[in-house]
Structure 1
């Protein structure tokens, strides 16, 4: 798997079998919700015997289900991500502002964090309109292929830097703006996701950009009354 730790970079405490188990879980995604034993083995560069042991172990633990030929993840894997999300204050702080943004703009809104070479939406809101883009909280997207990712990879863009770019989901465009903490550090990207055929780039900048920037200002205002914990993960804030 692309995110495996290189062999020469592994510390003495490194548990190879645990890495393989995580690789098996990551082998399932939106494009491959179900896989056969052989497919999992190929995706994870494992022998069929090793892949079978790992899949059966995950099944015993309740993380994988099999119909006899194909394997699927179960809802229990959500526990793994929820433990992280439940410890973050920033998504909870931003949620009401995202909900207000979604209603004012009539488009889906989200807050993204950078995770290595990917971005992950940690909070999202949809307007009441039926035809709105779907943003899956917790989904990993390639940073270089999204507006939020390019924004966060840029490090310290100008305060008015907003990008309009194609999203990996066909027919959807995203507009992103940086969210900064009280020290000016970019900690997240606020995003509006729009159906490309409904809103042109010019109209989005004219009509939707003010709503996006206003939402960012509200989120940053809340962040200014908080102090980041000394060694907290990106996006974690601690109230005074």
Structure 2
């Protein structure tokens, strides 16, 4: 389900390499040498160097003591989507409502290949765990939103995902068995929600529901999460599911007024 699985004739390899390099920087790799970048994106040192020099000249990458890092100019690319899609106006009001009522955190995510990208996030937490910030991406199989989004996919797309995804044990509780994961996704499809406990990181218990466009297609997911041990999946379902579904329905109806966001979420 990679974005480059079916390359059109106009596919520009050099551009793809540059974007891959930008995506290689993360919290675990905020700075990298040329050789480290090349290894991360499976490029030759020469190809990685050409891309890095171009990105540096454009102002998206900086260099200090032979180590490369991202520069603030890169934020303009993400903020362009954020502004044109009117994320603040459409999504944050509902997320804030959920957090104001229940505390903890709430997010909206969309499926991108094998990952969930967090499109919007509101939180009152300051936890030492996986950061669910806007722009973060995590494996779909290990998140409640990912399972809801996979449940909303057609059978062909789901089969393709399950046959291609490489599942890694992120915690001792992470489900990496294809048959078991499919069963969980089928439950989410039937029930209209998904819960996870310590799948992505220890301390995260989450509940997610689909956000559907006016045609009934699942285009995004909305979640609420709290600390494992303080909240349980049953508590989230009994206490928060109605409000979560109401917010998801409101966002879905809002998509008719904001075609840019609808198009972006639907891919």
Classify the TM-score, shorter chain. Answer: 0.7 to 0.9
Which residue in 2 is equivalent to 1:212? 244
Give the ranges of 4+ consecutive aligned residues of structure 1 lying more than 4 Å apart after TM superposition: 129-134, 156-160
- Contact 2:210–2:248, Cα closer than 8 Å, also in 1: yes
Q: Tell me the alpha carbon deviations over residues 98-136 of structure 1, each in whole angstroms, 9 at most, x when there is no partner.
A: 101111011111111112221111111124x66697521
1: CA distance between counterparts of 2:266 and 2:83?
12
Task: Choose from 204, 216, 220 the match for 1:172.
Answer: 204
Give secondary structure in 1 for the equivalent of 2:4.
Answer: coil
What is the deviation of 1:28?
1.0
Q: Tell me the alpha carbon deviations over residues 201-223 of structure 1, each in whole angstroms, 9 at most, x when there is no partner.
A: 22222222233223223334544
2: CA distance between counterparts of 1:233 and 1:3?
17
Stretches of structure 1 that go unaligned for 5 or more consecutive residues are none
- Contact 2:207–2:233, Cα closer than 8 Å, also in 1: no
Give secondary structure in 1 for the equivalent of 2:32.
Answer: strand
- Contact 1:119–1:143, Cα closer than 8 Å, also in 2: yes
Cα pair distance change 1:5/1:215, threshold 3 Å: closer
What is the deviation of 1:22?
1.3
Which residue in 2 is equivalent to 1:162? 193
Which residue in 2 is equivalent to 1:31? 28
Q: Is 167-176 or 183-192 further displaced after alignment? A: 167-176
- Contact 1:105–1:211, Cα closer than 8 Å, also in 2: no
Which residue in 2 is equivalent to 1:105? 102
2: CA distance between counterparts of 1:16 and 1:130?
40
- Contact 1:102–1:108, Cα closer than 8 Å, also in 2: yes
Which residue in 1 is equivalent to 2:167? none
Cα pair distance change 1:168/1:135, threshold 3 Å: same
2: CA distance between counterparts of 1:60 and 1:227?
36
Matched, 1:5 2:4: yes
Q: Is 37-46 or 199-208 further displaced after alignment? A: 199-208
Normalization by structure 2: what TM-score? 0.75
Stretches of structure 2 that go unaligned for 5 or more consecutive residues are 154-187
Which residue in 1 is equivalent to 2:217? 185
1: CA distance between counterparts of 2:3 and 2:249?
38
Which residue in 1 is equivalent to 2:161? none
Which residue in 2 is equivalent to 1:135? 132
